Amino acid sequence: MVLLEMSLTPLGKGESVSEYVARCVEVVRGSGLAFELHAMGTIIEGELPDVLEVLRRCFEVLSADCDRITCSAKFDYRQGAGGRIQSKVLSVQQKLADSQS
């Protein structure tokens, strides 16, 4: 399984780009993959071809009316492991709680 953290930003569309982020989130939702939206991007979990397809579709949705788009993408692959969007955070929180005991 792969975690993909991605952020696509259209340039020249003003200070707020939430309208464009919402377009991409609709694509992500439609994929059926587990995801989490955060302040600086979106994390998606799935098989590599599936998450790459979501990234490609997000780009296509934006490129319809955006002449310039920047994209940042980061992958974390771990064979066989799923549910890591939550489990990675829980692991750190547990260690923090243990260190306070």
Count of domains forming the chain? 1
Is residue 56 within a helix (H) or strand (E), and if so which, with residue range?
helix 48-63
Cα Dmax for the chain: 54
Does the pTM exceed 0.75?
A: yes
pLDDT of residue 58: 98
Average pLDDT over residues 60-69: 96
Q: What are phi and psi of 44, to 5 degrees?
A: -125, 140
Host domain of residue 53: 2-99
Cα gap 58→56, rounded to integer Å: 5
Cα gap 13→95, rounded to integer Å: 42
pLDDT tens-digit readout, 4-18 = 999 999 999 999 999
- CATH code of 72's domain: 3.30.70.930
Answer whether residue 101 shows pLDDT above 80: no
pLDDT tens-digit readout, 21-48 = 999 999 999 999 999 999 999 999 999 9
